[in-house]
Amino acid sequence: MKDYMVIHTFKSEEIRQQYFAMSQDMTLDDIRAQMKNDNASFQMNWNAGEDDMAMYCWWKADSPEAIIETLGEMGEMFHNDVKEMPNLIDVTD
């Protein structure tokens, strides 16, 4: 699988509010289970909560299409800017 960074930008303020209302009852295990299959696996998310229209996610996937397919209907809430990240500079010891 390749590494991807995805900027998920909500399509509207109303959709952003719906997303956070929908996800407030989900556990981390629920989210992980829905965002992982043989072709794509959600790794990490950075967001400013309800104060921002964008979320930044690291995915491992076979292709950008595999990420969109894994998101399913939830992916339609966002404009999804998928970028492959083939280069890694590891500055940890």
Give me the number of domains the chain comprises.
1
78 in a structural domain: yes
AA identity, residue 12: S
91 in a structural domain: no
42 in a structural domain: yes
Give the confidence band of 10 by pLDDT, cuts at 50, 70, 90: very high
Query: What's the Cα-to-Cα distance from 43 to each of 9, 17, 21, 35, 57, rounded to whole Å?
Result: 18, 23, 22, 9, 7
CATH number for 9 = 3.30.70
Residue 37: which domain range? 2-82
Whether residue 6 contacts residue 67, with contact meaning beta carbons closer than 8 Å, is answered with: yes
Q: What are phi and psi for residue 4, nearest 5 degrees?
A: -135, 145
Q: State residue 70's pLDDT score.
A: 95
Q: State residue 25's pLDDT score.
A: 83
Q: State residue 32's pLDDT score.
A: 80
87 in a structural domain: no
Q: State residue 89's pLDDT score.
A: 82
46 in a structural domain: yes
Give the confidence band of 74 by pLDDT, cuts at 50, 70, 90: confident
